[in-house]
Amino acid sequence: MCTSLISTQFLLSQIREMFIPTDVSVHPLVLLSVVDHYNRIARNTWKRVVGVLLGQAYKDGKVDVTNAYAIPFEEHKTDPSVWFLDRNYHEEMRDMYRRVTAKEKVVGWYSSGPKIKPNDIAVHELMRKYTPNPVFVIIDVRAGDDRPLTGLPTDAYYAIEEVADESSEPKMVFRHIPSSIEAQEAEEIGVEHLLRDVKDTTVSTLSTQVSERISSLSGLETRLREVQKYLKLVVDGAVPVNHSILYLLQDIMNRLPDETSIELMRSMAVKTNDMTLIVFVNSLMRSLVALHDLINNKQAMKKLESGNAPTAADATAKDEKKAAEKKAANGNRSGGDDAANAKPRPSKE
């Protein structure tokens, strides 16, 4: 028994060393599940929610998170060492998902964060019993001014043993890894329909487009400032040179249009003139419609002032007269038809 336990632990340690997560991709279904879990359990409270991530882990280190389910979790507000996670519920849910989708396996766990807490290492160690090297993803579900509008709402980590010096014991620490949001075609269609239902119909299309442009430009500005900060650190020698990042930045710069090109300037001028013409024609049509409504209103007011405008009683009497004439015409027509269809009676001699 002891020998089998030691061999199992050795195999798990070998698997952990062989597989190290390098990239995590989260699907929209996972984000929707976490937001629903948070709104049901911990909204407007200090609590956070915890759940299990399902998906596939590939040999190249990429982890594809396609599904998730919630787990009952409680923790003390001031003492981080006091916490509870329902393992029985987790194992039952894992077995149920395994019967439905065998490809989706436990690849890690999630938390609504929004930051790493002291007891996360202990929860991560518990999850290592179900998967060799799990990933820990913090999904920021805050809305409004509490969360920045730019950037992804996900932060992914994995745990490694780190030794501070020779005299100290090794301890587990989290290492950050890149994360991204990916979706299949069916998921993209579902998200589009969901956003279409959630969209506020009282807001005009133009204002929605302007707000989207402002948000996109704000995100672009944030990314450019991050690039500038990174290049400054590289020049100062605080960060080592990463040629892969520099190649990507050079590729981005090469894709920028040449502002000195005559063809580009001509095409931009044509595009601007076309848009300005559309705006001018639209304004002209609105003015004509407003003028037409104003003339109709003036004519109606003039008739009312002169007393020639029909009142409500006159309109009712006119309708009743038309109805009576129509009824009389129908009665005459039916009487004529009966007379035409009548057969002559034989005379008695």
Structure tokens at 57: 């882990």
Closest by alpha carbon to 25, among 177, 180, 154? Answer: 180
Over residues 316-336, the pLDDT tens digits come to 766 777 777 777 766 655 555
**What DSSP element (H or E) covers 339?**
helix 312-341
Q: What is the CA radius of gyration of the chain?
A: 37
Q: Report the alpha-carbon distance of residue 15 to residue 23 in Å, rounded.
A: 18
List, in sequence order, every residue forming a beta bridge with 157; answer none if it has no partner: 136, 176
SS3 306: helix
Provide the CB-side half-sphere exposure for 104 (13 A, CA).
19
Over residues 244-277, the pLDDT tens digits come to 889 989 998 888 888 788 888 889 899 999 999 9
Ordered strands of the 171-177 beta sheet: 171-177, 154-162, 135-139, 105-111, 50-57, 62-71, 23-26, 179-181
CB neighbour class for 1 (10 Å; exposed up to 12, middle 13-18, buried from 19)? exposed
Which superfamily does CATH assign the domain made up of 9-199 to?
Answer: Cytidine Deaminase, domain 2 (3.40.140.10)
For residue 293, CA distances in Å to 299, 304, 311 come to 10, 17, 21
Closest by alpha carbon to 50, among 98, 78, 83, 95? Answer: 83
Which pTM value belongs to this model? Answer: 0.60
- pLDDT in single tens digits along all 349 residues of the chain: 445 544 555 455 555 555 789 999 999 999 999 999 999 999 889 899 999 999 999 988 999 999 999 999 999 988 888 999 999 999 999 999 999 988 999 999 999 988 899 899 999 999 999 998 899 999 998 765 455 555 688 999 999 888 777 777 888 899 999 999 998 888 888 887 877 766 665 656 777 788 888 988 988 898 899 899 999 999 999 888 889 889 989 998 888 888 788 888 889 899 999 999 999 999 999 999 999 999 999 988 888 888 655 555 566 766 777 777 777 766 655 555 554 455 455 544 4
SS3 79: coil
Q: Determine contact, residues 69/52, Cβ cutoff 8 Å.
A: yes
